[in-house]
Every structure is written in C-alpha cells, then in structure tokens.
Amino acid sequence: MEDVSRRGLLKASGVVGAAGAAALVAPATPWTWSPAQSVPGYGSGTNPREVWDEEADPVIARLLDRGEIPKVNSLLRGWTKNGQPLPAGLPTELRDFMEHARRLPAWTDQDKLGAAVKFNQKRGTYLGVLYGFASGMMSTVIPKEARAVYYSQGGADMKDRITKTAKLGYDIGSLNAYAPDGEMIVTCLKTRMAHAAVRHILPGSPWWKHSATEEVPISQADIMVTWHSLPTTVMRNLQKWKVPIAPDESAGFLHSWQVTAHMLGVEDQYIPKSWDAADGQAQQVLDPILAPTTEGKKLADILLDLGMNLDLSLLSRPVLGALTRFMLGDRIADWLAIPREPVWTPLLETAWGPYVAVREGLLNVGMPKEAYWLFDEFLRQFVLFYMSELRMPINITIPAMNNPHYS
C-alpha cells in the first residue's frame, strides 16, 4: 500500500509527463535481498525499485513549480564546505531539509573513516583509473542511468557532467572528506537535490518517456546500482589484481561509501553491511541489468574521447578503449563497439598483473621495464588530467530543465 500511495502521489504532483505517450514498463522482478544484510540489520524489505526520496522530492518539486531553482542555485554557489553555514535567503522548507540532510548518520565511525584515508592514500594511483574506466564506462551500459543522463540537462554538456561526477570520487578520496573543512557532505547533498529535480522534470521529456522502462527515474535501487558500479566494482578489480589490502582499510573504504549512500538519500535498509553483502546485492541489482543502449553508446564515445586535443599521448582513444576492454571484459567492450587493440589489449592482459605485483612490492622481476614505464606513465597522465579538470571550482547545480537538444 505504501508503494502504491507513493506512485500515486508522484503522478498527482506531475512527475509523470503528459498523457498519451505511454512509457514501457519492465516486468516486475522480486526483491529478495534481505535487510538483515544491511547496515542496521533490519528493514521493511520493500522493493527499492518502488522507493524514491520522500524527504527531498516534494521540497525540490515545489521549488521547481514556483520557479525558484535559479535563485537557489545562485545562493548555493558559494556553499562548498561541510561545516559552512547555509547561505541566507534560502526558502524556509529547503533550509530545514538541508539542515537535517547534512547531518552524518548516527552510525558513522570516525576511526573507520580514518582507515579509509589510509586506503585512499595507498591506492590512489589505481582508484582514479578504476573510477573513470571501470565505474565510468560501466555507467554507459546501465540502461536506466544512461538514458537518464542523456536526456536530462546534464546530457547537454557531457564534459561538464563528467567533471561533476568525478568530483564525487575526488571528494570521497580526500584527507578531510567528511570533516568540517571537507566537501563530501556538500557534494552529496547537492547531488541528492539534483536527483530529486530530475525525478520531477525528466518524465516530461517525450524522448525519455518513449525509451524508459520506468515511470519515475532514479529510484533507490537505481542509486544502489550506481553505488555498486563504484566501490563494489573497485573492490572486485583490486581483488582480481590480487592487491593486498589490510582488513581495517578495506572496512574503512566500505564505510566511507556506506556513509555516502546515506548522504545521497538511500535508506539505511538498502546499504550493505559488508563486502560480502555488497557483492550479493550487486549480483541481483547490477550484474543482470547491464546492457547496451543507443544513448549509452553515445555516452561511451564521449568518454573515450577524454584525451582528445590534449598533449597526453597515453590518453588516446585506442589506449582508453583497450583499458575499458581489459577492465570490463570483451562482452561490454563489444556492446560499445570498442575494437580489440593489437598492441595495448595483449599488453594489458599479460603485463598488468606483474605491474601491480611490482608496485605492491610482491615481485621484483618478471616484466619488461618498458611495459612498467608505460603503465606508470599512463597512471601519471590520467591523474594529471583528472586533477587539472578538478582544479577549478566545480559547482553542482539543481537542474531546472531537461536536455534542450531533446525537448
């Protein structure tokens, strides 16, 4: 009954677009992941595909309907630090929501967040590439995410959209991510409000309605799918590469992302309590839904041109394509029409393992110095590019329209 009422409320408030363009509705699939595997260890077990954000959605919807989003974005432009007071002049209902939503969950463990800092310091050379080309490229074969990005306002300027997404990975890896002088709480809350806006306005796009398999985008399940494309996918790859990780640092890295899920508006009952629980949930919500879409292929092309017009020879499209094939496998690379590179693909397949072993101090010989240098230089160039993109202040805004190219 709760789910039916929620959907009815969204329809009544105009979240679903104009009548006459019937959206395709995917067959209902049971939600079997147990809330006993969640951070609190209990929950209602409600299917997260039918749950959105009951706190943020009505507030942002009313601001959109009253035309107040441009003013709000202007006021929030200078709000960048976790401990910074909210700016004066915000609508009262928005201020009340933000003051509540900026609080860390009661179960936040500062010691674990400290261990996450150690993890990020040691694995930073891997994390940037994994976030970019395991997680980032995976997003192009998550059908709901690809369509939502492509037809929403963010799809109109993908370079700006990619940079704002990268900020999340950058902020969570910083030394002071959740400290008063850090920015992760701000980044999460602004992203949460942007999601709420997309839920309200994207169903008004006839392009999205004709391609979507749902009536309302960005459900709690969708957010967790994206979540698994980040920390779960990172951990899967690090384990595949046999990177040794101290148990406390592994737990800390997971905890930093558990807190992030909460700050993005995910109900605690859907946040996995352990890596085993996360992998089990990913096997249900992420792995089976990966598929190619027209929109995803176009987004992948944009990502693969990341290094275009830059004096960074190792960020060429062939290299990035080979890295995508290596990290995500032949099936996804074929979906995205990424060719098998004659040099880089076999080099990655044969030399990446020894390269990681050398970096981790587990192997002193076993690979040509030239191959080691190539991999090290690639990581260096990628980090340089990544940092240069994030050097200027990045302002995450609440969208007030869909992609104007598909209006």
- In SS3 terms, the chain reads as CHHHHHHHHHHHCCCCCCCCCCCCCCCCCCCCCCHHHECCCCCCCCCHHHCCCCCHHHHHHHHHHCCCHHHHHHHHCCCCCCCCCCCCCCCHHHHHHHHHHCCCCCCCCHHHHHHHHHHHHHHHHHHHHHHHHHHHHHHHHCHHHHHHHHHEHHHHCHHHHHHHHHHHHHHHCCCCCCCCCCCHHHHHHHHHHHHHHHHHHHHHCHHHHHHCCCCCCCCHHHHHHHHHHHHHHHHHHHHHCCCCCCHHHHHHHHHHHHHHHHHCCCCHHHCECCHHHHHHHHHHHCHHHCCCCHHHHHHHHHHHCCCCCCCCHHHCHHHHHHHHHHHHCHHHHHHCCCCCCCCHHHHHHHHHHHHHHHHCCCCCCCCCHHHHHHHHHHHHHHHHHHHHHHCCCCCCCCCCCECHHHC
- Left, alpha or beta for 96 (phi > 0: left; psi -120 to 50: alpha)? alpha
C-alpha 261/C-alpha 104 separation (Å) is 11
pLDDT for res 15: 30
pLDDT for res 173: 87
pLDDT for res 25: 37
The domain limits of the chain are: 53-292, 305-390
pLDDT for res 383: 62
pLDDT for res 308: 60
C-alpha 218/C-alpha 206 separation (Å) is 17
Residues 6+ apart with CB under 8 A from 217: 144, 148, 198, 199, 202, 203, 208
Which parts of the chain register pLDDT below 70?
A: 1-29, 156, 158-164, 306-314, 363-370, 372, 380-393, 407
C-alpha 299/C-alpha 276 separation (Å) is 31
C-alpha 380/C-alpha 377 separation (Å) is 5
